[in-house]
Structure 1
């Protein structure tokens, strides 16, 4: 399996693991849902988990990979406010927890670029 074939599957695995976590252990995700969103945090936790699972499935299938990769890039941008909320909420926690919260913020950039790279790779290969 080439690197270009492995990259979308690794991204799919990351999204699938995150999606499962949203259903298996929803409370930490509920806590970072911005309160301004309607419907309550649990609905958004489950919706984002379902979206991650759908994106993972789309990335795993070559026919839907490009569209899923572009959607994943948009998804990573869309969940950024939750990461900002976590960083703000955790600003008075112990240093290790603050580091996790602050570390999530710049992590979104490589995730967006990775997803866009997968989409570009499909366009180039296909």
Structure 2
């Protein structure tokens, strides 16, 4: 803690007002479940590239044409969304993107049936 912050803290404890107020930024603790979900989703997205055949049958239900290409696209999307959810700063964007992605996939599956 630098000298200015220490003096401001001592002034606050003693009840005196500091001449140069210091704003202490307090961060909320990071969410472990969100990090685990984000890393799991990113890992699943990466697995689309290492073992695409495992995902082709599932992908074919929503994307019967150019299935392998869509397998890679979905893997890339899941990798990006998972990484966005993993980090606190980009978590809101990742959450909104995940909802949009699930809605897109649901729309594709329902339109193919």
Q: Which TM class, normalised by the smaller chain length? A: 0.5 to 0.7
What residue number does 2:48 align with?
22
Which residues in structure 2 correspond to 1:2-81 (within 5 Å)?
Answer: 5-34=31-60, 37=63, 40-80=66-106
Q: CA deviation at 1:37?
A: 3.8
Q: CA RMSD in A?
A: 2.9
Q: Please give the alpha-carbon distance, in whole angstroms, between the structure 2 residues aligned to 1:56 and 1:34.
A: 22
Q: 5+ unaligned residues in a row in structure 2: which ranges?
A: 1-27
Q: Which runs of 5+ in 1 are unaligned?
A: 89-126
- TM-score normalised by structure 1 residue count: 0.53
**1:6–1:35 CA distance, 2 compared to 1 (3 A):** closer
User: How many residues were matched structurally?
Assistant: 83
Q: Deviations over 1:26-72 (max 9, x none)?
A: 11211222467476011100000000110111112222110111111
Q: Which has the larger radius of gyration?
A: 2
Structure with the higher fraction of residues in helix conformation: 1
Q: Deviation per CA, 1:61-102: give whole Å up to 9, x if none.
A: 2221101111112223333456xx8xx9xxxxxxxxxxxxxx
